[in-house]
Amino acid sequence: MRKYELAVVLNPALDEEALKAEFAGITEMIERFGGTIEKVDDWGKRRLAYEIKKVNEGFYSFITFSAQSSTPIEVEKRMRIRENVLRYLVVCQEA
């Protein structure tokens, strides 16, 4: 199993409940495809470097997880269609 990090920027218009539900859905999705969540680093609302979909801010979160090499592919497929995700990136961490 390898270590991966998922960086996610969510829509700033989400209220507290919707934000928690979105993060819960993302972590559940990782676990469903065989990943094990190791750490969740929530940065809160931050200003974006450039405007995305006419939005200047977003909720940043970084999720570190261990998984097989097929898991990030499945996670990226699902992240692409999530409505409240402005940007995402899955990277493999070096051992």
Q: Residue 4 corresponds to which amino acid?
A: Y
pLDDT in tens, 42-89: 999 999 999 998 999 999 999 999 999 999 999 999 999 999 999 999
Neighbours of 44 (CB within 10 A): 8
pTM above 0.85, yes or no: yes
Q: What is the residue whose two structure tokens read 């539900």?
A: 21
Q: What is the pLDDT of residue 2?
A: 93
pLDDT in tens, 21-47: 999 999 999 999 999 999 999 999 999
Contact 43, 19 (CB under 8 A): no
Evaluate if residue 11 carries a pLDDT over 90.
Answer: yes
Q: Where are the domains of the chain?
A: 2-92
Neighbours of 14 (CB within 10 A): 17
- Domain 2-92 - what CATH class? alpha beta
Any residues with CB less than 8 A from the CB of 20 and at least 6 apart, and which?
A: none
Query: What is the band of 95 on the pLDDT scale with cuts at 50, 70, 90?
Result: low
